[in-house]
Structure 1
Amino acid sequence: MGFVFVSGSAALDLVGTVTWRRTDPTELLTGPADLARWIDACADLPDGVTVTPEVLGRARDLREAVHRLATDRLAGRAFDPAALAVVNGTARGPGMTVQLDDHGTRRTGDADAVLAELARDAVAVLADVDTPLKECGRPGCTRLYLDRSRGARRTWCGMDECGNRVKAAAYRARRRTITG
């Protein structure tokens, strides 16, 4: 199973590891190996991080807390105190390190540092009320993303999964109207 990184934020991409939350929730992080693969695939996170069942549980807790805070932000509500405690507590964890090599820089750190980095990313995204946070416009898709498009007119989380399908459905509907 491949992971999708279209949110513009590692923390929001982590939230996207539960898909179709309102209609048919699917958990993509079913075991520690899945989280390890997600971390390896995520840009700016270190490779080869050891993930235990306990780390997986904390990552899921962080993911759900970030989702709750992001949906609070979208709805214009005050942040949920329990979700704030999870994100802020995790953000206080140890930081990752940056090292120089022949290819530029690489980031290193253990699982605690990765979770702290994800929590700090969530803090940065959610702290600014002017952050262009959106939810995908495809019915049923609940992926959150940062709309940094020109004029902030992006409608879907990504063209591959949602945008193309919405456009194809609209095209088929128009064709039915013309030929119908």
Structure 2
Amino acid sequence: MSDFVFVSGRSCLDLAGTKLWRRSAHTELLDSPDALRQWIAEAELVDDPGHLDGHDLDRVRRLRESVYGLVWAWLPGQEAATGTEEDLARVNDAARLPLPKLQMNAQGALTRLGGVDEVLGAVARDAIDLLSSRHIRRTKECAGSDCTRLFVDLSRSGARRWCGMAECGNKRKAADYRQRKKQQTSKTSGSGG
């Protein structure tokens, strides 16, 4: 089973979500070139990025942190964070890289060609598209107590609270249910006589 989830609605935010619990445990999911290769495949950006090494991993992580920093700074109600100029320059530089080359055969099978440059180019352009669109106003951080995953709320009501039900929503609902049961039990045992 994969550690990666794709629940944010944007590839740039899915990449940002490869670092978990940013305010507490700082769990790094992109901990090796092999993990990066797995994320690229699961994100369906390119089919085979070729040889990946520590330098490629570092480039992707730097872009990830710049995307996260910019999106976080531009969330509704946030003050602009320091370092956003450097982050913006990094995202703009990556957006000038080539995009994956898409090809289709006669049976309709899609092939995505490219390497790490094409992955960086696609993610950076997705970030620019998000930041310059009305969807940035619908971008939120998960309401999970320690979760720092960002997502675009495309629900009709605009009331989505969780990065995903399997990741955080069900955990919170289960905790709320246990708390209600505990309160009911204490009320019942306290009123007996």
TM-score by length of 1: 0.94
Structure 1: distance between partners of 2:134 and 2:87: 17
Structure 1: stretches of 5+ with no match in the other structure: none
Matched, 1:116 2:117: no
Residues 1:84 and 2:84 are matched in the alignment = no
Q: CA deviation at 1:130?
A: 4.5
Bigger shift: 75-84 or 59-68? 75-84
Between the aligned residues of both structures, percent identity stands at 44
* TM-superposed deviation, 1:106: 3.0
Q: How does 1:1-180 map to 2 (within 5 A)?
A: 1-43=2-44, 45-50=45-50, 51-74=52-75, 75-77=78-80, 80-101=84-105, 102-131=107-136, 132-180=138-186
User: Offset of 1:105 from its aligned partner?
Assistant: 3.1
RMSD of equivalent CA atoms: 1.5
> What whole-Å deviation, never above 9, does each CA across 1:86-108 have from its counterpart, x for those lacking one?
00000001121111122343322
Amino acid at match of 2:67: V
Contact 2:3/2:29 (<8 A) preserved? no
- 1:167 CA displacement: 0.4
Question: Structure 2 regions of 5+ residues with no counterpart?
Answer: 187-193
CA distance in 2, matches of 1:98, 1:161: 32
Q: Which has the larger radius of gyration?
A: 2
Number of matched pairs: 179
C-alpha distance in structure 1 between counterparts of 2:60 and 2:92, whole Å: 14
1:87 maps to a residue whose letter is V
Quick check: 2:48–2:113 contact (8 Å CA) kept in 1? no
CA distance in 1, matches of 2:115, 2:67: 21
